[in-house]
Structure 1
Amino acid sequence: MDYFSQSIKQAIRTVPDWPTPGVSFRDITTVLQDKTAFRKLIDAFVHRYHGHKIDAVAAVDARGFVIGSALAYELNASLVLVRKKGKLPFDTLVEDYELEYGTASVELHQDAFKPGDQVVLVDDLIATGGTMLAAARLIRRIGAEIVEVAAMIDLPDLGGSGKLQKEQLKVYTVCSFDGE
């Protein structure tokens, strides 16, 4: 793990037994509150995609918006919001996905991308991968191409990054908490 990844990982607060006993919640607010850690985080993404043709950053509701907006600005790309169902005012495409306790849906404006647009899909973390997979399916339905799925944190024990890779998606995360 490089210096930037290690310093960002150290800035993430772990809250034991929240929201339920046995869960170690990875709280990213401490990274956002630390101006040096937040800059390092955005710089890690910017350096990753600098020099690539990126037309848009698709950011997943809601913490992905924080990372996605800063990244889109730095890459001179458009910002597209992948929202929870019922939050977008125009014609949308909807994709359902499974949760451990039911189903949920995300949506995207039908005109969010042009066919062939090069897109980075970003969120704060990859856990089970359901939200990111649903968002990726929406982006592909419009005809845009996903350069990479990116997140600050990977929780590989939950299998999400593996599911994304099985769907032929490249995955980049700044740090991971594997078995921790």
Structure 2
Amino acid sequence: MARTVQDYIRTIPDFPKPGIMFRDVTTLFADPRGFRMAIDQLLHPYAGLEIDKVVGLEARGFILGGAVAHQLSTGFVPVRKKGKLPGKTVEQGYQLEYGHAVMELHDDAIDAGERILVVDDLLATGGTAEAGIKLIERLGGVCIGCAFVIDLPDLGGRSRLEALGQQVHALCAFEGD
């Protein structure tokens, strides 16, 4: 029987705290067939479109985004947690479940008018992705879509990004959080 991307993802109960079902994509990354399948499926809706750069969100988005950028023959740009990028950056704050965080992007990473695809492993509340989109737009880039391996629909991230006018592509979904 043919496997799906979801079949390669391990669930770890009660991590990082009791009640959380952690969706671990490292098992997907470690399997050559699974990893190839995920990359092919992430980029499929965007093949043939004009894309100037892929933005990967820290940290697993770097792995996926770099591979997608390679396959699309585009540049890759990391969006990182505050304090991780050298040089001049722009920053965007966003809310976490219990607190606040800040993401950064080099101020010269994206040129006005460039068409950008955002890639990450997991869409939960959408806060990190929204921060990435705002950074792209602040530099004059145009976000043409957001691609994720996993969607957690009960947490509302897809709706949040779609309310921003974004196309959301996810390879699989897990109900609950």
1:123 is displaced (CA, Å) by 0.7
In structure 1, the partner of 2:145 is 148
Cα deviations across residues 51-104 of structure 1 (Å, max 9, x unaligned)? 000100000111000000001011000000101001111111000000111100
Structure 2 equivalent of residue 101 of structure 1:
98
1:46: Cα distance to partner?
A: 2.7
1:117 to 114, 118, 121: 114
1:169 pairs, out of 161, 166, 170, with 166
Q: Tell me by how many angstroms 1:179 deviates.
A: 3.6
Q: Unpaired runs of 5+ in structure 1?
A: none
Give CA-to-partner distance per residue, 1:101-127, whole Å, 9 cap, x none: 110000001111111111100111001
Tell me how far apart the structure 1 counterparts of residues 93 and 25 of structure 2 sit (CA, whole Å).
Answer: 26
Aligned alpha-carbon RMSD (Å): 1.2
TM (norm. structure 2) is 0.96
> What SS does the aligned partner of 1:149 have?
strand
* Corresponding letter in the other structure for 1:11: Y
- Correspondence for 1:27: 24
TM-score normalised by length of structure 1: 0.94
Runs of 4+ in 1 over 6 A off after TM superposition: none
CA distance in 1 between counterparts of 2:42 and 2:16 reads: 29
Deviation at 1:47, TM superposition (A): 2.0
Separation in 1, partners of 2:162, 2:40: 24
Unmatched tracts of structure 2, length 5 or more:
none
1:16 is displaced (CA, Å) by 1.1
Q: Structure 2 residue aligned with 1:83, among 75, 80, 83?
A: 80
Contact 2:53 2:77 in 1 (8 A): yes
- Taking only the aligned residue pairs, the percentage that are identical comes to 47
Residue 105 of structure 2 aligns to a residue whose secondary structure is: strand
* SS at structure 2 position matched to 1:106: strand
